[in-house]
Amino acid sequence: MNTHGKNIIGNNLSAMGTSSFNAYDVASNSLLPTKFYEATTTEINAAISLAAEAFGEYKNKTGKEKAAFLECIATEIEALEMELIETASKETGLPLARITGERGRTTGQLRLFASQLTEGSWVNAIIDNALPERKPLPRVDLRQMQIAIGPVAVFGASNFPLAFSVAGGDTVSALAAGCTVVFKAHPAHPATCELVGAAIIRAAKKCNMPEGVFSMVHGISHQVGHALVTHPLIKAVGFTGSLKGGKALYDAAVKRESPIPVYAEMSSVNPVVFLPEILTQKAGDLAEAFAGSIVMGGGQFCTNPGIFLLLKNESSTNFIQLLTAALTAKPSVALLTNGITDAYYQGITHQRNTEGAIGLTAFDANTPQPHLLQIDAQMLISNPSLTEEVFGPSSVAIIAKDMDELIECILHLKGQLTASLHGTADELKNAGVLVDLLQEKAGRLCINAFPTGVEVGNAMVHGGPYPATSDSRTTSVGTQAIYRFTRPFCYQEFPDHLLPDALKESNPLQISRLVNGIRL
């Protein structure tokens, strides 16, 4: 396929604007030829109008129809074969094997949501039958289920060109919920976006979905995103990216005449606590595994462990030496964009220039290497900037003189996607306080495990208190992510024929329901 660089507005391609940009080949450090046309206000409004029109039809598609659509998207993505893998690898610098794995995650995610829709119980059907004889007042017939919230704007992330991009978790959970989607392509991999966007349109046509169920706009300026988020017909926003970017969208959304929810996954350093005895027993294995977690995906995962806390003693000194050696042995990595490379260099430089901070690994501005810094706990407490995310393969060791100081450090942390705790069975027996404190700070807590590698399943929480996300009440990974794009609705005294199938008295979908307080 020849890359055209145009916006996908419903079923049409459009390039009305004069502003354009090119994608970048990370390996050769050079611009790629195709011009991508930034969407104009007219194009953005057209995409949103189509999304709003399509919503009326799409939300009433059955679960099986929506499931078939998601499965068809997966099939269309697989049909892109190596063209997709190679394009994504070129635009991001991520290796072919990693992109291939990520494609599997993306299509697996589509099929997981499809199976959730096919099964159908996710709508949380609740039925309270009428009790006409109840005293002092009769009860009317009341039925509740989750319904789609409306057209949604989704912003792709740079670090997962497939799994958190065009057909990624936000888009899929919104489509599964019954929402239509206007997607803002990430300018760091626009050709990849074009391929996947076209795959979704093909799937939509094959499955007789209404035009506008999905549109995709390009943009490298902030205006495109702002126009999407502030449009009155957009009812929710999904975003994965920087704190600055997510906060800007959040601020725009809450100032609207009708504020809307923004699910921005933004910033996390994913603290790891190592208790002393486990470091005595397993220093070598832990150092190797932890180094692997730090460099996984070039350190460009939201769950990258950017800080770790240990008590000052021989076993932690030994562990840090082993970890330094393990990280030094790792190759340098090409980061996703020049912007990320620059920010990585600046972040590490800021850390190393902090008085008292010890750079444990070599550092060269020209080749982004895995990096390790060591500071004392009191430095973290007095200088919170040392716990800000440095996006890339780096981590900061925080040495506490005793458990009280370590706990004080935890209390000073902001909200996180994850926290991790390593200890022996004996150490964990008395770790209730630590578990409680880490839970307050995060959306997921790993015991004797590292946070990288986010399972797409039912029980995953990829979320957490601010600034990890803008809304700790949700997850952006796994089947529960669907509830970001729904709201509860109550049907009072409805005749059976007007009820959705999920709430009809005979339970034609055979789903699990809460009926008069009993789970059936």
What are the catalytic residues? 265, 302
The SS3 assignment for 194 reads: helix
C-beta of 22: minimal distance to its own copies in Å?
35
Q: What dihedral angle (degrees, nearest 10) is formed by the CA atoms of 500, 506, 511, 516?
A: 90
List, as own/partner pairs, every contact residues 375-383 make where C-beta atoms lie below 8 angstroms and the sequence separation is at least 24, other chains included: 375/399, 377/309, 377/401, 377/405, 377/406, 377/408, 377/409, 378/405, 379/354, 380/307, 380/409, 380/412, 381/408, 381/409, 381/412, 383/354
Judge contact between 305 and 270, C-beta under 8 A. Answer: yes
Residue 502 makes CB contacts below 8 A (sequence gap 6+) with: 120, 123, 125, 145, 509, 511, 513
Q: Which H/E stretch holds residue 31?
A: strand 30-37
C-beta of 482: minimal distance to its own copies in Å?
12
C-beta of 389: minimal distance to its own copies in Å?
16
Find how far residue 316's CA is from the centre of its chain. 33
- Supply the DSSP string of 123-179, one letter for each residue: G--EEE--BTT-SSSPBPPEEEEEEE---EEEE--SS-TTTTSTTSHHHHHHHHHT-
Break the chain down into helix, strand, coil percent, rounded to 5.
45, 20, 40
C-beta of 306: minimal distance to its own copies in Å?
18
The SS3 assignment for 103 reads: helix
CA dihedral for 72, 74, 76, 79, sign (positive or negative)? negative
In the complex with its own copies, the residue whose CB is nearer, 367 or 430, is 430
In the complex with its own copies, the residue whose CB is nearer, 307 or 477, is 477
Both tokens of 218, joined, read: 């390009």
Rounded CA gap, 274 and 311, in Å? 8
C-beta of 163: minimal distance to its own copies in Å?
14
C-beta of 144: minimal distance to its own copies in Å?
4
